[in-house]
Amino acid sequence: MTEITKSAHGAWSSRFTFILAATGSAVGLGNIWKFPYITGENGGGAFVLVYLACVLLIGIPIMIAETMLGRRSQRNPIETMELLTEEAGADKNWHYLGWMGVIAGLLILSYYSVIAGWATAYIAKAFVGSFFDADGTAIKTLFDDFVASPVQMIFWHSLFMAATLLIVVRGVNKGLEKAVQWLMPALFVLMLLLVGYAMTTDSYFQGLHFLFAPDFSKLTSSSVLTAMGHAFFTLSLGMGAIMVYGSYLPKGVSIAQTAFIIAGADTLVALLAGIAIFPIVFANNLHPDTGPGLIFQTLPIAFGNMTGGWIFGILFFVMLSIAALTSSISLIEPAVAWLVENKNVSREKACIWSGLAAWLLGLASIFSFNIWSNVKFFDRTLFQLLDYLTANLMLPIGGFCIAVFAGWIMKQQHSEQELNMPNAQSYQVWVVLTRYVAPLAVFFVFLHVVGVL
Ligand code: PHE
């Protein structure tokens, strides 16, 4: 390892740490906070089905493609695109793909850190016993009072951003690896516990029905776009996070196999979150379409009323904050890696500048929940706009370009060599999905949304 770390670019110490780190990037607020509330807003079952189809047919092939591009070049996303464009003798405009990823990462980080700040604030609330014996109304008031206060939100947002930077500054081996090694299993166990609680409510089957019985009349073209966008968001695809992590992956590790493991774990956590949350929603006469506050208005009810809820509540929000942390570090890593490797900036300075930019923009999201809640563009608050722009537009466009580049531009002989699949058929399946299925699916969803279809 010492040999590799001497260069500017680090490397994972094993395949297992790559899986942990990439799963750490994938599993985060997207699974536990976002998946339930957008499922609630988009009518449940049918939306979930579209999301699952997108993960399988678009997400996994693109995850393989993105990891492969990173590993081939062993550089940050911007240089990866420069290098591989040259190798393939392709048009220089492909360079912009790397840029878009770096920018999308910082844009997402800006509001991601705000919501992660909520999770961190809720550790404190759990600790002082705010959930104790509380009913739905008390928990809602607690949440409403919290988001009405810019000062409190700025405090937690700053704290979370500082934690992100502290880890990223230490670099890939020391910082990122350590953070993810114990978190994933612990988080998983806590999710199971919450599912156990959901089973004790008398709305368990109503929750399951909402989540898994598809009613296609509830599906609009905009919910299909949201489901597709979420497949990218939750798997950390389309902006270079997985590319950067792939670039730290030792040669010779099977990329396809790891992609399946990562996507499988990610999907499982999201479904568990849904199974835990919706029964609580119905049991307490709450509405599935409550919006971004959904988990903060439901899970505390469970913690307030179950035996041992005090400690489980604390543990849950600690886990959620750390899950968010292992994602946020991957949101900023492309920008930092580029500044360090390309601009000769020190890792410290690179972290400070990128972190500051995302922190400042985060203020806009904070205010959109209170003092700027009436400021709207295209009928959306600034937070909603940033979320839409990144998750629904930039990530799918980035993913589309990655698929086209890996499937059409890169020489097949290179991708075949890099992927090194166990047999020719698996490689062919990937080629078909990456060349045709994934890009066409993204394309048609977009056409549908702009009303052409
Ligand atoms: N996948 C992360 C989550 O679900 C968010 C993320 C998106 C991280 C894009 C990196 C890149 O919380």
pTM of the model as a whole:
0.94
The one-letter code for the residue type at 163 is A
d(CA 334, CA 350): 11
The minimum-distance atom of ligand 1 relative to the CA of 331 is 10
For the Cβ of 236 lying below 6 angstroms from any atom of ligand 1, the answer is yes
Pocket test for ligand 1, best of 34, 234, 389, 395 (most atoms within 8 A of CB): 234
- Provide the CB-side half-sphere exposure for 444 (13 A, CA): 9
Which domains are delineated in the chain? Answer: 2-449 (1.10.4160.10)
> How many other CB atoms sit within 10 Å of the CB of residue 431?
17
For the Cβ of 31 lying below 6 angstroms from any atom of ligand 1, the answer is yes
For the Cβ of 331 lying below 6 angstroms from any atom of ligand 1, the answer is yes
For the Cβ of 368 lying below 6 angstroms from any atom of ligand 1, the answer is no
> Which residue has the CA at smallest separation from atom 6 of ligand 1?
236
DSSP state of 233: H
**Tokens representing residue 221 in the block:** 């073209």
Each of the 453 residues of the chain gets a pLDDT tens digit; together they read 333 333 346 677 778 878 888 988 999 999 999 999 999 999 999 999 999 999 999 999 999 999 999 999 998 899 999 999 999 999 999 989 988 999 999 999 999 999 999 999 999 999 999 999 999 999 999 999 999 999 999 999 999 999 999 988 887 566 566 667 777 778 888 899 899 999 999 999 999 999 999 999 989 999 999 999 999 999 999 999 999 889 888 888 899 999 999 999 999 999 999 999 999 999 988 899 999 999 999 999 989 988 888 998 998 999 899 889 989 999 999 899 889 988 899 999 999 999 999 999 999 999 999 999 999 999 999 999 999 999 999 999 999 999 999 999 999 999 999 999 989 999 999 999 999 999 999 999 999 888 776
Residue in this structure with the two tokens 């350590």, named with its chain if needed: 178
Residue in this structure with the two tokens 């770096």, named with its chain if needed: 102
Torsion angle, CA of 83/84/88/91, rounded to 10 degrees? -80
For the Cβ of 28 lying below 6 angstroms from any atom of ligand 1, the answer is yes
